[in-house]
Structures are given as structure tokens and as C-alpha cells.
Amino acid sequence: MRRILLVPALAAAVLTASCGAVEEPATDPSPTAEQSATEEEATTTSEEETATDEETAEEPEETSEEPEESTEEAAPPAQECSSSGYTAGELNAGDSPDPVVQLATTLLDAAVDCDPESLIAAAEADQPSLSFGEVPAEEALALPDVEGRYLALAVLLTATSPSQEVYEGDGAVTVWPAAYSAGATDADWQEIVDAGLYSADEVEQMRGAEGYSGWRVGIAEDGTWLFFVAGD
């Protein structure tokens, strides 16, 4: 029998053909540590961006609106107007004519409201006597109310009774308080004390002198303001 001598290269080829293809080493599909770290960083960054967006959306928008300023005028402070805080009752006009009632109401409202403009306007229209000297209305009725005129006027017109007097040249005049009249009664004098205009001692001094000399206001029957004075 003849032997067949195969060269090494051919032998290798034959061996390969008979055994099949040589398997290549398997590649590990799991990610490397470096790839995992990169993916984790990307995930963290994405989460931070999402949180920032949510915080931005939740923050309320700042408004630039300013509070509206009140257009109402504030009442004068109590130390400037003597009638501040005084609770006035109804006008006590008795049987006075309508023109008297109308002006008395105007004066009362202005006194209670600490409204110098209205009082001064009424005084400039009628030129009443506001003192025993030449004092203009804008000075006598100005604020601060150092003489207590506003409170005195409000108290006279609400807490004392009027009397009807007749003055030469002015005709019938309605005067507050009734204690100013020549025929004043004990009740008329007591009204002065009860109203808080003057103390009992001050009233006794007036009665023992020449009569009532405190604050008083007079209005003619045609509605003309004649006086608002105190003193002799």
C-alpha cells in the first residue's frame, strides 16, 4: 500500500474542514465601568434639570401693582379740632322758622365734621360777629381750634334749648342757649352744666354777675347768621 504524505499546510486545511469553523472568543456585552459612570452622570443631570424646571414653574410671579391711594380726606386730628370724637345729638331748634333751622343745620354739620371751609364760607356770606374785636372769619374759625369753638357750637345747637329774642334792627332772633335770655329759668342754667359747657361754679359766678356771658350763637328769622361769641 502506498502512503500519502501531506504537507503541513494541507494537513491543517483538511483538519479544519473536518472539524468545522474555529469559534471566535465571545465578546462580553456588559458595559464597562467607564460607560456606566457616564450614563449615571447623564441621568443625574437630567433629573437636576427636571427639578429646576419644576421649581421655576412653581414660583409665583411677582406683581408690580402698587396699592391704590385713598382719595378721601382724613378728618383733622383730635388736638386740632375740639369737636373730634364728639357724638352730637339732633339739632334742638324748638319752634324756630325754617330759614333758622336750615342755617343751624349747616353750622352744626360743619362743626361736627371739623369743616372750616363750610363755616368760614357761611361767616363770610353773613358777616356775623365772631369776637369783640375785628377778627376775620378765616382766623376765628381756622384750625387748630385753640378756643374750642367747634365743640362749643356743636354743644349749643344740640344740648341746649334756644330762646326767641327781639333785637332792635334785627327783629326776632333765635339764640342758643336759653340761659342768655333775660328770663332764663333755673332749668335753662342747669342745661349749661348738663351740656358740659361750663361747670356749676362757673354758672353760679355768671348768675351772680351780669348774666350768662359764655358761648352763644344767634340767627335772625330770615336765616342770617348774626353772632357766635363769648364774653361780655
What backbone torsions phi and psi does residue 228 show, to the nearest 5 degrees? Answer: -155, 90
Residue 98, beta-bridge partner list: none
Mean pLDDT by 10 residues, the chain (232 residues): 42 40 45 50 51 49 53 59 92 96 98 97 97 89 95 98 88 96 95 97 93 97 96 84
Specify the pLDDT at position 113: 96
What backbone torsions phi and psi does residue 27 show, to the nearest 5 degrees? Answer: -95, 130
Question: Which cell is 232 given?
Answer: 361780655
- Strand segments, DSSP code E, in the chain are 163-167, 171-176, 216-220, 225-229
Its pTM stands at 0.67
What does the pLDDT look like over 58-86, one tens digit per residue? 554 555 555 455 455 555 555 699 999 89
Specify the pLDDT at position 88: 87
Q: How far apart are CA 53 and CA 59, in angstroms?
A: 10
Specify the pLDDT at position 49: 52
What residue has cell string 374785636? 133
Q: How far apart are CA 219 and CA 226, in angstroms?
A: 5
The answer to whether 136 and 71 have CB atoms below 8 angstroms apart is no
Specify the pLDDT at position 167: 85
Specify the pLDDT at position 132: 82
Question: Which cell is 81 given?
Answer: 379740632
Specify the pLDDT at position 23: 47
Q: How far apart are CA 188 and CA 180, in angstroms?
A: 9
Question: Which cell is 122 given?
Answer: 357761611
